[in-house]
Amino acid sequence: MVVATERDGMTWYECESCGLMFDDQDDARQHESNCDDEDPSYIQ
Ligand SMILES: [Zn+2]
């Protein structure tokens, strides 16, 4: 799941599975679709 977090006056989108932060919601969603706790092969 992607969660929006406000930091330094910006909204960041965090992948709850691995904690990666993105400044673009689409990037976060794309990452999330490739992010699997069982499969760390996809690394941003
Ligand atoms: Zn992730």
Buried/exposed code over 19-41 (b: 16+ C-beta within 10 A; e: otherwise):
ebebeeeeebeebbeebeeeeee
List, for residues 1-44, the tens digit of each pLDDT value. 999 999 889 999 999 999 999 999 999 999 999 997 655 565 55
Q: Which amino acid is at 14?
A: E
Cα 9 to ligand 1 centroid, rounded to whole Å: 23
User: Using CB atoms within 10 A of its CB, is residue 15 exposed (0-12), middle (13-18) or buried (19+)?
Assistant: buried
Cα 18 to ligand 1 centroid, rounded to whole Å: 4
Q: d(Cα 11, Cα 34) in Å, to the nearest integer?
A: 22
Which pLDDT belongs to residue 36?
A: 77
Q: d(Cα 14, Cα 2) in Å, to the nearest integer?
A: 5
Q: Where are the domains of the chain?
A: 2-34
Which pLDDT belongs to residue 21?
A: 95
